[in-house]
Amino acid sequence: MRFSLYRYDPESSEAPHQQAYVLDDLSPDDMLLDALLRLREIDETLGFRRSCGEGVCGSDAMNINGRNGLACITRLGELTEPVVIRPLPGMPVIRDLVVDMGNFHHQYQRVEPWLQADAPPPDREQAQTPDERERLDGLTECILCGCCSAACPSYWWNPERFLGPAALLQAARFIEDSRDTATAARLEQLDDAYKLFRCHTIMNCSDVCPKGLNPTEAIGRIRRRMLGRHV
Ligand code: SF4
Ligand code: SF4
Ligand code: FES
């Protein structure tokens, strides 16, 4: 199978380029991460991140044949050749497929992604009704892989001012949580021409999310909350 991988070494004078590789004895059921690990046996200078290998940690997000995804859950049989692998778009490249996610994590931090409640913590769990818990479905499963924000043109153009779909999905996760009492402050904090309203509903984010989440819909829920409509 033929591969074309983005290569960049900041310590080399060589310009960034695509490098061709060929691997034999692959099965269509092998994952792209399996192929990358084999390529690294051939070329130990190849840089990429990975950890769990099961679509849980989110660390091996990359651009695969023009679409952001996780190498560990992308079957080779689904890919056309040559398989063109590039780093996540819109994020500074540190080396090869490794990008600097500092701004992405900073935007995540800005939505204060932790439960804020006026009352002191209970001795045991803080109960929710099944309906209240259901409102968090589709929001708590995010693995912060960055595929969505790295597919969003608004985030590419304003990465410091627009929070991006991943951070906004997390904002929605706490706004929707019945146990969180900071809802009004959270909504006020997001009511800004850039932080939230740079989203133009292009939906690239929801198209690429490897967990099947829908950041566009989550952003819509925040907007409707701002308008005072409970959805
Ligand atoms: S919403 Fe999906 S694509 Fe975006 S960071 Fe979370 S898991 Fe990744
Ligand atoms: S819907 Fe909004 S957040 Fe998602 S890709 Fe489009 S502009 Fe970005
Ligand atoms: S290696 Fe953890 S999500 Fe792919």
pLDDT digits (tens, 9 = 90+) for 102-123: 999 999 999 999 999 998 888 9
> What distance in angstroms lies between residue 130's CA and the mean position of ligand 1's atoms?
25
Same domain? 94 vs 60: yes
Pair (165, 110) in one structural domain: yes
Q: For 56-82, write each residue's pLDDT tens digit.
A: 999 999 999 999 999 999 999 999 999
**pLDDT at residue 223 is higher than 60:** yes
Which ligand lies nearest to the CA atom of residue 216 in the structure? Answer: 2
Q: Which domain holds residue 111?
A: 102-226
The model's confidence at residue 230, banded by pLDDT at 50, 70 and 90, is low
Q: Is residue 152 part of a domain?
A: yes
**Residue 229 scores a pLDDT above 70:** no
Q: 113: CA distance to ligand 2 center in Å?
A: 20
CA-proximal residue: ligand 2, atom 8 (nearest): 152
Q: What percent of the chain has pLDDT over 90?
A: 92
83 and 94 within one domain: yes
Domain assignment present for 231? no
HSE-up of residue 1 (Cα within 13 Å, Cβ side): 23
Q: Are residues 168 and 91 in the same domain?
A: no
Element (H, E) at 98: strand 98-99
Q: Among 36, 40, 48, 56, which is best to mutate for testing ligand 3, by the most ligand atoms less than 8 A from CB?
A: 56
Q: How far apart are CA 32 and CA 74, in angstroms?
A: 6
CATH of the domain at 210: 1.10.1060.10
Q: Above 70 in pLDDT, residue 43? A: yes
CA atoms within 13 A on the CB side of 169: 27
**What's the pLDDT at 121?**
85
User: DSSP states of 60-94 as a string?
Assistant: TEEEETTEEEEGGG-BGGG-PSSEEEEPPTTS-EE
Are 113 and 80 in the same domain? no
Contacts of 206 (CB under 8 A, 6+ apart): 148, 165, 213, 214, 215, 216, 217
Q: Does residue 213 sit in the same domain as residue 107? A: yes
Q: Which of 83, 99, 115 is the last residue of a domain?
A: 99
Q: Is 209 in the pocket of ligand 1 (CB under 6 A)?
A: yes
Does 231 score more than 90 pLDDT?
no
Q: Please choose from 37, 40, 51 the residue to mutate so as to test ligand 3's pocket, defined by most ligand atoms within 8 A of CB.
A: 51
